Amino acid sequence: MSSLSGEIKQSFPRPSSPQLGQMAWGSFISSLGSTLQVFAFTYVVYSTTKSAFATVMVGVAFAVGFGLFALPAGKIARRFDHRHVVIAVSVAKAVVYAAILALQLTGELSLAAILISSAASGITSSIQYPCWQELLQQFSAKGRLDETNALFSSLSSISSVIGALAGGVLLDEVGAAPLFAFNVLSYLPLIVIVALLPAMQGDKPTAAAGLKLIIAKINSARAVRTAVIFTALLELLAWPLISLLPKVAAEVGSAARIYGLLLAAFYVGAGLVAVLLRRWKKDAPYSHIIRLSITASGIALVIAGAFGIAQMGIALTLAGLAIVLAAAGLGLATAQSVLGAITQLGVPKKIEGEVLGVFALITIIFGTVGSLVEGLLADTLDIWWLPLASGAVIVIAMNLIWWRHGFLVLNAADPKSDPGRTHLMRHAQSGGRGNATPPLVHTRRPLTAATDDDARREGDTLRA
C-alpha cells in the first residue's frame, strides 16, 4: 500500500510555476465548497420530491444559464482582463449562495429558489469558463495543456471525494446550512489568489469573430471536429447518469451517506486522471488514449447496470457500484482532459475564447438533452437499465469508429507528433502578440493537463 501511494505521489504532476500552484489551491478550496453546495441541492430536491426528473432539473437550470451566455463569454474574454472577470464572477457567486444560505436559515428555501440559483451559477460559470482556461494556458508549460487540465481535474475530483463523503455525514447530522455557509466562504481564497496574478503581456483587444467563422474553424480542423463529436457523445450518454445517483442511492439505501459514498467513488477514479495521463501519454498516442478511456467508461456503465439488476444485497451491490463508478470516473475524466486540450489548441489563438464558448455551448446542449431524457426515463423505468443501455451504445459506437479508423485524426493534435508540433508553433504565432514573450516562459518545466475552471468544475458537479 505504501509503495502504491508513493508511486501515485511521485507520478502526480507538479505545477510548473508558483502562480499555477496558487491557482490550484484556490481552485481546490472553491471546488470543495461547490461540491458541498450541489450535494446538498440534489439530495434535498430528491428527498423532497422523490423524482429523478426534478433532481436532474437542478443541473438543467445550470445548463440553460450556461448556454445563454456561452457565446458572449468568448467576447468578454477577448475584451476584458481575465483576472478581473474571474474575480467578478466569484464575488457574484458568493452573493448568490449567501442568499441561498439566508433562505435555508429562515426556512424559506424552495425548489424554485434552488433552480434560480443554479441558473445564476450557470450564467456566471459560463462567463468565467474561457477566461479561466486561458489563465491556465498562460501559466502552463508549452505543449502540456492536456496535463495541466488533468492536474486541475484531479484536484477537483479529490475535493469532490472529500465533499461527497463529508456532505453525506453532515446532511444526516446537521442539515444543509453548514454546507451552504462553507461554499460562500470558499470563494474568498480564489479571489485573493487571482487578484495577485500578473497580467498577460502583449494581449490587446481585437475585433470579435463571428459565429459563422468560429464554426468554420472548428469544422475545418479535423481533430477539433472529432473532439467535439466525442465530447457531445459523452455528454449525451454518459455524464447525465451521474445526476441520477440520488435515485440509485435510494435503490440501495436511503441515507445521504450512501449517495455520498457512490459519488465519492466516481470522483476517486476521476482524481487519478493526472497520474494516469502523465504516464500513459509518454508511450500512447491520443487516438489510443481516447479510444480506451471512453470504451472503459462504457463497459463500467454496463457493469453498473448489471449489478443493480442482479440484486445481490446491499453490501455487494454497494461495493460493486463503487468499483465500477471509480472506473467510469477515471475513463470519463481522462477523455475530457484530452478532448478539452485538443479543442483549445486546435484553433488559432486569436479566436480561442470564442471557440471555447461555442464548444461549451455544444456540450451543454447535448448534456441538457441527455439529462432531460434520462431523468424522464428514470421516473418511468427501472433505473438500472439506463446505465446498461447507455454503456452498451458507447461501447458499440467506439468499436465502429475504431473499425473505420476514426480515432487516428486525433493524433494531429498530439504534441509528440510532427503534425502536433507544427500546429503548436502555428497556434503560438497566431495570438497577435508579435514577439512578446509570455510570463515565465523560460522558467516552466514540463507539466500536465485538464479543465478545472469554476465553470467546468461546477458543471461537472451539478451533474451529480
- Domain count across the chain: 1
Confidence of residue 442 (pLDDT cuts 50, 70, 90): very low
Confidence of residue 349 (pLDDT cuts 50, 70, 90): low
Q: Which residue has the higher pLDDT, 451 or 427?
A: 427
Confidence of residue 31 (pLDDT cuts 50, 70, 90): confident
Looking at residues 104-115, what average pLDDT do you find? 88
Residue 425 resides in a domain: yes
Q: What percent of the chain has pLDDT over 90?
A: 16
Residue 3 resides in a domain: no
Residue 205 resides in a domain: no
**The pLDDT of residue 434 is above 60:** no
**The pLDDT of residue 224 is above 50:** yes
Confidence of residue 409 (pLDDT cuts 50, 70, 90): confident
**The pLDDT of residue 84 is above 50:** yes
**The pLDDT of residue 386 is above 50:** yes
Tell me the per-residue pLDDT of 365-376, one tens digit each, with 9 for 90 and over: 888 888 888 888
Residue 232 resides in a domain: yes
- Mean pLDDT, rounded, of the chain: 77
pLDDT at 254: 66
Residue 395 resides in a domain: yes
**The pLDDT of residue 67 is above 50:** yes
Return the CATH number at 397. Answer: 1.20.1250.20
Residue 5 resides in a domain: no
Q: Which residue has the higher pLDDT, 192 or 8?
A: 192
Q: Which residue has the higher pLDDT, 417 or 212?
A: 212
Looking at residues 419-424, what average pLDDT do you find? 45
pLDDT at 86: 92
Q: Which residue has the higher pLDDT, 356 or 58?
A: 58
Residue 304 resides in a domain: yes
pLDDT at 218: 74
pLDDT at 145: 66
How far is Cα 138 from Cα 427, in angstroms, rounded to an integer?
13
Q: Which residue has the higher pLDDT, 204 or 246?
A: 246
The residue segments making up the domain with residue 113 are 17-198+211-463
**The pLDDT of residue 188 is above 50:** yes
Residue 442 resides in a domain: yes
